[in-house]
Amino acid sequence: MIDWFQLASEKENKMIQIRRYLHQYPELSFKEHHTHEFILSHLSQLSCDIQAPVGRNGIIATFKGRGDGPTIALRADFDALPIEELADVPYKSKNKGVMHACGHDGHTATLLGVADLIEEHLNCLNGDVVLIFQYGEELMPGGSQEMIDAGCLQNVDRIYGNHLWSGYPTGTIYSRPGPMMASPDEFQITINGRGGHGTKPHETIDPIVILSEFILSTQKLVSRTIDPVKQAVISFGMIQAGAADNVIPDSAVCKGTVRIFDTEVQDHIIEKLEKLLKGLSIANDITYDFEYIKGYLPVNNNANCYEIVKQAANEINLRFNEADLMMVGEDFSHYQKVRPGAFFLTGCGNKQKETDYPHHSPKFNIDEQAMKYATSEFMKILELEDVIHVKKNK
**Residues with active-site annotation:** 79, 137
| CA–CA gap between residue 245 and residue 248 (Å, rounded) | 8
Asked if 69 and 37 touch (Cβ cutoff 8 Å), the reply is: no
For 101, how many CA atoms within 13 A lie in the half-sphere containing its CB? 21
| CA–CA gap between residue 253 and residue 189 (Å, rounded) | 6
Which of 4, 360, 7, 394 lies closest to 167 in space, CA to CA? 360
Q: What type of residue sits at position 303?
A: A
| CA–CA gap between residue 145 and residue 125 (Å, rounded) | 28
Tell me the backbone φ, ψ of residue 141, rounded to 5 degrees. -85, 5
Beta strand 183-192 with 232-241 is unpaired
| CA–CA gap between residue 308 and residue 313 (Å, rounded) | 9
